[in-house]
Chains A and B, each alone.
Chain A
Amino acid sequence: MADETVQPLAKFTGHKYLVQRLVLATLTGRPIRISQIRSSNPTNPGLAPHEVSFLRLLEAITNGSTIEFSYTGTTLVYRPGLITGSAEGLGASGGVLRHEIPGTNARGISYYLIPLCMLAPFAKDKVNVIFHGNGVITSATPGVGDVSVDTVRTAILPLYQQFGIQNNIEIRILKRSSPGPGGKGGGGEVQLVFGHQVRLPKTLHWLNPGRVKRIRGVAYSTGVAGANNARMIESARGVLNKFVMDTYVFSDVSTAPLVPSQDKTKPGEKKRLGIGFGISLVAESSTGCLYSADVASPPNGGVPPEDIGKQCAYQLLEIISQGGCASKVAAPTMMTLMAMGSEDVGRLCLGRDVIGSEEMIQLGRDLNALGGSGWGLRDANTEEGEVVVSVVGRGVGNVGRKIA
């Protein structure tokens, strides 16, 4: 590319935070080189199936981006292009981009959704992607720690409203699925519609976390009896009702998706994949902060729904106790959007455990490496000992919008 003389490759190592780096590179327009991706792993070096799938998705919604792998897949060079969204003719048909996730994928769909939502406001056209295939897991994944699609919808998407991005945003859960045997594969189907593109997200000043006023949630079960939902809800409410009376958890029961079995001896046969249950809880504070918790049954089973419900309730309480205006799940999204905002100082109050987490520190470093400004931290004068993070926006925003 011509601008490589101006913009040298930003270099990163390791497979961790790969998605975050790719997203930041796309948003800032900086080419990056990531080396030593699982290079020390003797059996599975290089990119994992979910990372490859994400790269494919990134290629589909951008125009002009190039991705180069090394022979073993341990090194990757990514030169971002314009985020076009689901514009006609670029892999999308009828304004909808269909992205298939292979059955070897072990990550929840939120692994794809959350970064895609970060990119979507800066797209040229609206983003409309259907995730399908044997690898779509809509529930939380107990092994790898992805949140469920319900949490994305109820705890992460509402945050975009704070940045003035609120119209025509939807996540349709067309088919639910829990992780399949061994935590791999699902067979669900999810559609993301993100129809609100902006030039620049609004500058955010959010310093008052407020107090939790209501708790909502979704209990889902796929392929198992709906009574599991009721049991999870009972035990979760047993814990939470003492603190917040306004606690309601809704129940969603569905059959497990039917996917073609991979058995060569019986072609055309289908099997049920992704049986399990889980619960997602969201606490909303008086100032609109959202704290979420997610627990799902392990793929091997053996955990009663009461334990899942109770565990989720306790997890929610723990996350609320960390304080701040954003939980660990939501903070990267918020900080990224703030960093992509106008050249103005935005402020966000975060709990010490949140800002001190490995992911947040790495996010700050990666932003710095990609030409962002540093974060200013100061103590918020609250009894919880929260930290106010000040971020200066890049002021570039949506390049596609600027041209169009």
Chain B
Amino acid sequence: MAPITAKSITGKRKRVSREELLRDQSSPERSSSEEQSDTEDIQAIFRRAFEAKFKPIDVEPVKKAPKIVPQEEEEEEESAWSGISDEEEDKVEVVEYVDTRRSEADRASKTEMKAFMSSKPPTAPKPAPPPSKSKPKSGDDDDDITETANLKNDMALQQLLRDSHLLSSNPSASSGTTLTGALRHKSTDLTLLSLGAKKSIHTQAKMPRSHRIGITEKARQREQKRRTEARENGIILERASGGDSGGKGRVMKKREKGVGGPGVGRMRGGTLNLSRRDLADINGPPDRKGKKKGKGRR
């Protein structure tokens, strides 16, 4: 359809290249008056519709349009788009773009805010403190050397004081200030413990099972003996605690179950893992057939 509204006329009209204008003139003229009245009718209808809905539009700019209409009407029918014209080039539209949104990084730092919003008159924010000097000044050189030496001696003395009980327990080793052999290991162990080591380096990590059982058994016996002796003598001891109460051999720890977790096994990554023991629990003792004990499972 040919352009109808005033807006489209003025809008598209400028997109006319010179050649097409020439071609228009060479092409046979239609009855321009008829054409014009036709378009004016349509325009009037549309304008009425528009004005009914919105405000009345200004008539002024529309008046100019019909002058060009007859020529370009045909051209518009021939080709809807007539290419980019170079007539508009002298009119440059300037768009000022101001981004009013600010990024988060645009905000002042909290320290700066505190400095500014405090009750004191704001002072200029101090620049970041310069990196501390790694090299001591040449003037204080020998001073520093004695200082470090003093510090070293101090530490040695402290360690000696800490280890003194080792020396006293073993008088043969107290020949010199430096420890040797097992004492040295003990001293190192103490130092490590004082620095925050979790357990002593002398605790044996691995040993045969029979040994371990023997150790715990011995400890249990010793404890039991102590308790019986105390009871006989009428001495009240502390309450027996935990596993090494002497009475029971093994205390079953209650399994930590989370809310919504499985009743048996371990849920991990969407998979229920059942250990051998779990399976054994589920199946029950194999030798007694048909006598399944739930073992308190719910």
- Which residues of A are at the interface with B, using a C-beta cutoff of 8 A? 153-154, 157-158, 160-161, 169-173, 216, 218, 234, 237-238, 248, 250, 252, 284, 288
Contact = CB atoms under 8 A, between A and B. Distances in A.
Given A158-B121, A158-B122, A248-B108, 12 more contacts: A154-B116, A169-B121, A171-B121, A173-B119, A216-B116, A218-B116, A218-B117, A237-B102, A248-B112, A250-B108, A250-B116, A252-B117
A154 B122 contact: yes
Contacts of B116: 154, 216, 218, 248, 250
B117 A171 contact: no
Contacts of A238: 98, 100
A170 B107 contact: no
Interface residues of B, number: 15
B215 interface: no
A246 to B, nearest CB: 9
A237 B116 CA distance: 18
Contacts of B100: 234, 238
Given A237-B102, A248-B107, A170 B112 contact: no
B121 A157 contact: yes
A16 to B, nearest CB: 29
B193 interface: no
Interface in B97-124: 98, 100, 102, 107-108, 112-113, 116-117, 119-124
Nearest to B108: A248
A216 B120 contact: no
A153 B113 contact: no
Contacts of A248: 107-108, 112, 116
Contacts of A218: 116-117
B111 to A, nearest CB: 12
Interface of B: 98, 100, 102, 107-108, 112-113, 116-117, 119-124
Given A248-B107, A248-B112, A170 B117 contact: no
B122 A172 contact: no
Contact of B119 (A153, A234, A237, A252): A153
A288 B124 CA distance: 9
B257 to A, nearest CB: 49
Contacts of A288: 124
B207 to A, nearest CB: 67
B63 to A, nearest CB: 39
Contacts of B117: 218, 250, 252
A190 B104 CA distance: 33
A158 B120 CA distance: 9
Among B102, B107, B122, which residue has the most Cβ atoms of chain A within 10 A?
Answer: B122
Contacts of B124: 284, 288
A252 B119 CA distance: 13
A153 B112 CA distance: 16
Contacts of B120: 169-170
Among B100, B117, B120, B121, which residue has the most Cβ atoms of chain A within 10 A?
Answer: B121
Nearest to B117: A250
Contacts of A169: 120-121
15 contacts: A153-B121, A154-B116, A154-B122, A158-B121, A160-B121, A169-B121, A171-B119, A171-B121, A234-B100, A234-B102, A237-B102, A248-B107, A248-B116, A284-B124, A288-B124
A172 B112 contact: no
A250 B119 CA distance: 14
A154 B102 contact: no
